[in-house]
Amino acid sequence: MSALFSSLALRSVTLPNRIVVSPMCQYSAERGEATAWHMIHLGHLALSGAGLLCIEATAVEPDGRITPGDLGLWDDATEAALKPVLAAIRKHSHIRVAMQLAHAGRKASSAAPWDGGQLIPVADGGWLPHAPSAVPHKDGEEPPLALDAAGLNRIREAFAATARRAVRLGIDALEVHAAHGYLLHQFLSPLANQRTDEYGGSRENRMRFPLEIFDIVRAVFPADKPVGVRVSASDWVEGGWTLDDTLAFAAELKKRGCDWIDASSGGVSPLQKIPLEPGYQVPFARAIKHATGLPTIAVGLITEASHAEQIISEGAADLVAMARAMLYDPRWPWHAAAQLGASVEAPPQYWRSQPRDQKALFGEISFGQR
Q: Annotated active-site positions, please?
A: 182
- The torsion angle over the Cα atoms of residues 320, 242, 177 and 57, rounded to 10 degrees, is -70
Residues whose CB falls within 8 Å of the CB of residue 302, separated by 6 or more in sequence, listed in order: 278, 279, 282, 308, 311, 320, 321, 322, 325
Cα separation, 340 vs 349, in Å, equals 24
- Using DSSP, state whether 232 is helix, strand or coil: strand
* Beta-sheet pairing, 8-10 with 13-15: antiparallel
Cα separation, 161 vs 158, in Å, equals 5
CB distance 297 to 318 below 8 Å? yes
- The torsion angle over the Cα atoms of residues 177, 91, 70 and 245, rounded to 10 degrees, is 10
Distances in Å between the Cα of 208 and the Cα atoms of 113, 246, 249 are 32, 13, 10
- The torsion angle over the Cα atoms of residues 145, 147, 148 and 154, rounded to 10 degrees, is 120
363: left (phi over 0), alpha (psi -120 to 50) or beta: left
Residues whose CB falls within 8 Å of the CB of residue 123, separated by 6 or more in sequence, listed in order: none
Cα separation, 44 vs 47, in Å, equals 5
CA neighbor of 319 nearest in space, from 61, 100, 17: 17
User: How big is the CA angle at 88 (ends 45 and 23), to the nearest 5 degrees?
Assistant: 35
CB distance 74 to 60 below 8 Å? yes
